[in-house]
Structure 1
Amino acid sequence: MRVLPWSSSPPFQPSHRPNPPCVPIEPLQQSSRRHGICYASEQLCDRGEGEGMADLFDRLDALVVEAMSEWKVPGLAVVVVQNGETVLRKGYGDRDVESGLPVTEDTHFMICSITKTFTSTGLALLVDERLLDWDKPVREYLPQFRLHDPVAMERITVRDLLCHRSGLPRHDWVWMPGDLSREEMFAAMRHLEPSKDIRTSFQYQNLGYLAAGMVAERISGLSWEEFIRNRLSNKLGMHLTFSLEELAARSNAAVPYFVDKDVRQRAELRPIRNTPAGGINASIRDLDLWLHFHLRQGEWGGIRLLSSARARELQQQHVYVSDSEFAELSDLYYCLGFGSHFYRGERVVHHSGGWIGWGALISLLPERGLGIAVLSNRDPSPVTNIVTNFLADELCAKTAIPWLDRYRDKHRRMLEHLDRAAHDRARRPNTWPSHDLAEYCGEYAHPAYGRLAITQADGRLHWAYRGLSATLAHRHYDTFELPEAPGRLLPGRCQVSPAAVRSPSGPTATALSAACRSRSSRW
Structure 2
Amino acid sequence: MELKITPGLIQRLHDLEPRLQAICQISGIPGCSIGVMHEGQVVWKANLGHRNVELSLKTQSDTVYNIDSITKSMTAAAFGLLVADGKVKWETPVRDIIPEFASLGDELDKQITPLDLLSMRSGNTMLDSMSWQGNNYIFFKKSETIALWNATPRQGSFRNSFLYNNWCYAVVGVIIEKLSGQSLHDFLRERIFEPLHLKNTRMTDFTPDEKRTLCYAILDDRSPVAIPEPAIGTGTFMEGASGLLSTVDDMFVLYGAYMAAIKDQTSRRTNSTHGNPFKECTTLTSGHNFLGNSISLREQTYACALVRCQLPGPLGMLSMNMKLMNIPPKNVMPNAAEGASSRLCFYHQGLMPGSSANVAFLPETDTIVAVLANACPLGDGADWMSQMIMEVIFEAPVRHDYESFARETAAKVLDHLPSLKRTQEANRLVGTTPSFPLEEYAGKYHHTQTRFWVEIAVVKECLSICFMGVKMETYELRHYQDDTFTWIISFNEAARRGRFVHYYDAVHYLIRFADDGQGIRRLYWHCTRDTGETPYLFLKSQV
Place the TM-score, normalised by the shorter chain, in its bin. Answer: 0.7 to 0.9
Aligned to 2:474: 469
Q: Secondary structure at the match of 2:158?
A: coil
Match of 2:488 among 483, 490, 499: 483
Aligned to 2:323: none
Long gaps (5+) in structure 1: 1-19, 26-48
Residues 301 and 200 of structure 1: CA distance in aligned 2, closer, same or farther (over 3 Å)? closer
Counterpart CA distance in 2 for 1:58 and 1:192 is 47
Aligned to 1:313: 283
Residues 320 and 301 of structure 1: CA distance in aligned 2, closer, same or farther (over 3 Å)? closer
Counterpart CA distance in 2 for 1:106 and 1:304 is 23
Q: Secondary structure at the match of 1:146?
A: coil
Question: Structure 1 vs Structure 2: percent identity of aligned residues?
Answer: 22
Counterpart CA distance in 1 for 2:426 and 2:219 is 21
Aligned to 1:209: 169
- How many Å apart are 1:295 and its aligned residue? 1.6
Counterpart CA distance in 1 for 2:31 and 2:348 is 20
Q: Secondary structure at the match of 1:432?
A: coil
Q: Secondary structure at the match of 1:231?
A: helix
Runs of 4+ in 1 over 6 A off after TM superposition: 299-302, 415-418, 517-520
Match of 1:145 among 98, 101, 111: 101
Deviates more, 1:298-307 or 1:278-287: 298-307
- How many Å apart are 1:21 and its aligned residue? 2.6
Aligned to 1:85: 41
Q: Secondary structure at the match of 1:297?
A: helix
- How many Å apart are 1:456 and its aligned residue? 0.9
Residues 458 and 352 of structure 1: CA distance in aligned 2, closer, same or farther (over 3 Å)? same
Residues 331 and 311 of structure 1: CA distance in aligned 2, closer, same or farther (over 3 Å)? closer
Deviates more, 1:230-239 or 1:149-158: 149-158
Report if the CA contact (8 A) 2:130-2:527 is conserved.
no
Deviates more, 1:472-481 or 1:412-421: 412-421
Q: Secondary structure at the match of 1:354?
A: strand
The superposition leaves residues 109-135 of structure 1 with CA deviations (integer Å, 9 ceiling, x where unpaired) of: 111000000000111112122222001
Aligned to 1:230: 190
Aligned to 1:99: 55
State the AA in 1 paired with 2:13: F
Counterpart CA distance in 2 for 1:165 and 1:294 is 24
Report if the CA contact (8 A) 2:10-2:43 is conserved.
no
Match of 2:155 among 195, 201, 211: 195
Counterpart CA distance in 2 for 1:478 and 1:489 is 29
State the AA in 2 paired with 1:369: D
Q: How does 1:141-180 map to 2 (within 5 A)?
A: 141-176=97-132, 177-180=137-140
Aligned to 1:452: 454
Q: TM-score, normalised by structure 2?
A: 0.80
Aligned to 2:252: 288
Residues 202 and 518 of structure 1: CA distance in aligned 2, closer, same or farther (over 3 Å)? closer
The superposition leaves residues 407-456 of structure 1 with CA deviations (integer Å, 9 ceiling, x where unpaired) of: 14524764897753523333333322122111111211124251211111
State the AA in 2 paired with 1:332: Q
Are 1:348 and 2:345 counterparts?
Answer: yes
State the AA in 2 paired with 1:501: D
- How many Å apart are 1:350 and its aligned residue? 0.8
Higher relative contact order (CA 8 A, sep 6+): 1
Q: TM-score, normalised by structure 1?
A: 0.83
Residues 222 and 259 of structure 1: CA distance in aligned 2, closer, same or farther (over 3 Å)? same
Q: Secondary structure at the match of 2:21?
A: helix
Residues 320 and 509 of structure 1: CA distance in aligned 2, closer, same or farther (over 3 Å)? same
Report if the CA contact (8 A) 1:495-1:517 is conserved.
no
Counterpart CA distance in 1 for 2:86 and 2:527 is 43
Match of 2:77 among 108, 121, 124: 121
State the AA in 2 paired with 1:510: R
Counterpart CA distance in 2 for 1:154 and 1:331 is 30
Counterpart CA distance in 2 for 1:263 and 1:397 is 32
- How many Å apart are 1:403 and its aligned residue? 3.8
Aligned to 1:259: 218
Report if the CA contact (8 A) 2:19-2:403 is conserved.
no
Report if the CA contact (8 A) 2:354-2:498 is conserved.
no
Counterpart CA distance in 1 for 2:172 and 2:413 is 40
Q: Secondary structure at the match of 1:93?
A: strand
Residues 413 and 98 of structure 1: CA distance in aligned 2, closer, same or farther (over 3 Å)? closer
Residues 474 and 215 of structure 1: CA distance in aligned 2, closer, same or farther (over 3 Å)? same
Counterpart CA distance in 1 for 2:62 and 2:358 is 17
Q: Secondary structure at the match of 1:502?
A: coil
Q: Secondary structure at the match of 2:223?
A: strand
Counterpart CA distance in 1 for 2:21 and 2:68 is 24
Residues 354 and 516 of structure 1: CA distance in aligned 2, closer, same or farther (over 3 Å)? same
Match of 1:359 among 343, 348, 356: 356
The superposition leaves residues 300-344 of structure 1 with CA deviations (integer Å, 9 ceiling, x where unpaired) of: 99613234xx2132121111123348x7x9563211111122221
- How many Å apart are 1:489 and its aligned residue? 5.1
Residues 261 and 427 of structure 1: CA distance in aligned 2, closer, same or farther (over 3 Å)? farther
Are 1:499 and 2:508 counterparts?
Answer: no
State the AA in 2 paired with 1:252: K
Residues 285 and 490 of structure 1: CA distance in aligned 2, closer, same or farther (over 3 Å)? closer
